[in-house]
Amino acid sequence: MAQQVLRKAHNPNDCFPIECAELVLPWLTPPELANVSMTCKSLRQVSHSITLRRSSDASRSFENFPVPFLNTTYPPYAHFIYTPSLLLSSQHLPRQPWGGRSVISPAPALSAESVSLVDESGRVVSGCDCRDACSDCPCSCLDGLDVGRECGPGCRCGPECGSRSSQKGVAVRVKIVRDGRKGWALCADQFIRKGQFVFEYAGELLTTKEAQKRQQYYDELALHGRFSSALLVIREHLPSGNACLRLNIDATRIGNVARFVNHSCDGGNLSTKLVRSSGALFPRLCFFALEDIPEDEEFSFSYGEIRKRSNGLPCFCNSPSCFGTLPSEDT
């Protein structure tokens, strides 16, 4: 349908019906939308209204609160596919409506949270029998730990359970701000207390082979222009000490608001925890406020400490301990 719009719009004397344009144009990418906007006045007006709506909410209504882009320069917003949770790797980039008058929810994608540990009969093998708030539930252990645990698909409690605090999307109001040197940055749009859950790092969950392939491609793009990926590699050393769990989360093409959080050499104001939901196969990387965060303050955390590239990308964190370059290592 999008290609039909583009072909139809090439004829300036046969403008696409506005009613159809409001349904179809939200599916277009920014270049396609710009192309259509130049064909006739009516489509230019629709395209402009779609751009304004996109700028008003990066989350495409998937989150509890709208996430606006605040920008005084071009481009007015960053285009990516939004997911509020982890997804299994997708080789083909899907289309997703954004900027329409009504919220159009696409078919639900396969979430890593829905991949559960099951027994031979297909039943989830772990989870609590609680039916209320799970105040004394063994599934709930987040405070003071680098690795946390919450109720999951095998638990009898409902979505309102207090032991599912990190499973409800972005928990605070945030905004995406354009910085002259860093590019996009994510800032608080309210006061956030120390220890509060903020959001998780959502994106595509990749195999190591696919992560290495993508990082090589991203490095080539960076050599030919200003480009920064949002591929994050997390390594968790297992209790035996003989192995580690590796998670490759790529939010470059498909992700959530966490893809806009920048690095800080002093550790920033966010702490990270791997949170496991009982019965779920994969843990999730969650961010918590390391300190009280006032409204308008930029979110940041440490990408790591290893710097293998002598000509790495410049760092603009402005912290007293800034190394001058961003962390880099072999993927």
User: How confident is the model at residue 234, as a pLDDT?
Assistant: 87
User: How confident is the model at residue 123, as a pLDDT?
Assistant: 65
The stretch 52-77 carries a mean pLDDT of 92
Three-state SS at 322: coil
The answer to which of 93-102, 129-138, 248-257 has the lowest mean pLDDT is 129-138
Give the list of residues 6+ apart from residue 314 with CB closer than 8 angstroms, or none: 324, 325, 326
Nearest to 272 by CA among 230, 232, 315: 232
3-state secondary structure 236-298: EECCCCCCEEEEEEEEEEEECHHHHCEECCCCECEEEEEEEECCECCCEEEEEECCCECCCCE
pLDDT of 207 over the 80 cut = yes
- In degrees and rounded to multiples of 5, residue 3 shows phi and psi of -65, -35
pLDDT of 104 over the 70 cut = no
User: How confident is the model at residue 158, as a pLDDT?
Assistant: 78
Please state, in angstroms and as integers, the Cα–Cα distance from residue 217 to each residue in 126, 212, 220, 309, following that order.
40, 9, 5, 17
Question: Hey, what are 315's tokens?
Answer: 């760092």
Give the list of residues 6+ apart from residue 24 with CB closer than 8 angstroms, or none: 1, 2, 4, 5, 16
pLDDT of 70 over the 90 cut = yes
The answer to which of 58-72, 86-100, 166-180 has the lowest mean pLDDT is 86-100
Tell me: cis bond preceding 30? Omega within 30 of 0 counts: no
Q: Between these two residues, 210 and 329, which has the higher pLDDT value?
A: 210
Q: Between these two residues, 281 and 65, which has the higher pLDDT value?
A: 65
The answer to which of 108-112, 121-125, 247-251 has the lowest mean pLDDT is 108-112
CB 200 within 8 A of CB 256: yes
pLDDT of 144 over the 70 cut = no
Neighbours of 201 (CB within 10 A): 23
Q: How far apart are CA 224 and CA 152, in angstroms?
A: 44
State CA 283 to chain mean position distance.
16
Q: How far apart are CA 100 and CA 103, in angstroms?
A: 7
Domains along the chain?
1-56 (no CATH), 59-331 (2.170.270.10)
Q: How far apart are CA 120 and CA 215, in angstroms?
A: 38
CB 257 within 8 A of CB 238: no
pLDDT of 21 over the 50 cut = yes
Q: How far apart are CA 250 and CA 230, in angstroms?
A: 6
Question: What is the model's pTM?
Answer: 0.86
CB 71 within 8 A of CB 177: yes
Nearest to 37 by CA among 59, 53, 19, 15: 15
Query: Tens of pLDDT along 284-295?
Result: 999 999 999 999
pLDDT of 3 over the 80 cut = no
Residue 220's pLDDT band, with cuts at 50, 70 and 90, is confident
pLDDT, mean over the chain: 83
pLDDT of 13 over the 80 cut = no
User: How confident is the model at residue 190, as a pLDDT?
Assistant: 98
CB 179 within 8 A of CB 260: no
User: How confident is the model at residue 164, as a pLDDT?
Assistant: 83
Question: Hey, what are 183's tokens?
Answer: 């590019």
Query: Tens of pLDDT along 226-266?
Result: 778 899 998 877 666 666 788 999 999 999 999 999 999 99
User: How confident is the model at residue 109, as a pLDDT?
Assistant: 47
